[in-house]
Copies of this chain bind each other. A is one copy, B any other.
Amino acid sequence: MLGEARRAAIVAMLRATGSVTVAELQAELGISPMTARRDLAELSRRGIAHRTHGGAVIPSIAAHEDSFAHRLEAETDAKRLLADAAVELLSPRDAVFVDSSTTGYFVARRMLELGIELTLITNSLPVMQLVASHAGPNVELVSVGGLMRRLTQSFVGPHAIRTIQGHFADRAFVSVKALTETGMMADVDPLEAEVKRSMIAQANDPVLLIDRSKLSARGLNAIGPVSDVSLVIAHGVQASDLRGVRRLDVAVRVVADKMTGLAGAGPG
């Protein structure tokens, strides 16, 4: 039996029941456990199967990879540091845009912890929940309306844009999926990209927050040149990663881990 045909059979079994075990493959296809593992590894690499101990499941079962809850777990320290740096910029009674990134969620949480009096404008449902349940009475919340995106728990679309354009804010805290070498900000979802673009446009001092994980991903939908923001706060990136930012002469602040040195490279 040809390798590719065998893998196709494995895919068929996966689709049928939602999962396969190595032992099943051994019995069903007459192959050794090692070959079964190699095939599953290959299918996992292609994104067709999600490898687990003893076998594999179809990705949709374990697809929470990109869900909000799962993203919260990744790079938590970095986001906390970014949030700390971000809230330092705030003054009482500021109006602030916060987007639907997990980094934005951390920023909002830090704001509430410090009890700063301000107005929050967001398209993120988790941020709304946060404010509704944890905020003191001196925090105003404005929700951007629109259609809900399940994956990111956020609201997008024309109504969201119109509401954003109806507000002027002192600052915006935005995080993007990708930052190219030419200094373009981009995101995977076009509607989400539009929201971020509008927030940046409607804020006096838009701030871009990025950590290392953001630089590898490729975003397809351009948001705009990084020169649209007045400050970039970064964590865990190398100088070469910020080439595009430097080229456009945007102020950068790099936050460092706790004890290892201090923040504040570059103008800013």
CB-nearest residue of chain B to A147: B142
In the complex, the count of this chain's copies comes to 2
Which residues of the partner chain B approach A141 to less than 8 Å between Cβ atoms?
Answer: 147-148
A185 and B213 alpha carbons, distance in the complex (Å): 54
- Residues in B neighbouring A147, C-beta threshold 8 A: 140-142
- Per-residue CB contact flags for chain A residues 118-135 toward chain B (1 = under 8 Å, else 0) read 000000010011011100
Instruction: Give the segment of A108-116, A154-162, A172-180 that binds chain B.
Output: A154-162
A2-B21, A73-B45 given; A142·B148 CB < 8 A: yes
Secondary structure type dominating chain A contacts: mixed
Q: Sort chain A's interface into a size bin.
A: 35 or more
Query: In whole angstroms, how far apart are the Cα atoms of A142 and B34 in the complex?
Result: 44
Q: Is the CB of B150 within 8 A of A132?
A: yes
Q: Does A19 contact B (CB under 8 A)?
A: yes
A interface residues with partner B (beta carbon < 8 Å):
2-5, 8, 18-19, 21, 45-48, 50, 52-55, 57, 61-64, 66-70, 72-73, 125, 128-129, 131-133, 137, 140-148, 150, 153, 155, 158-160, 162-163, 166
Question: Mind listing 12 A-B residue pairs with CB under 8 Å?
Answer: A2-B21, A2-B54, A3-B52, A4-B50, A46-B64, A47-B67, A47-B70, A48-B69, A128-B128, A132-B153, A162-B162, A162-B163
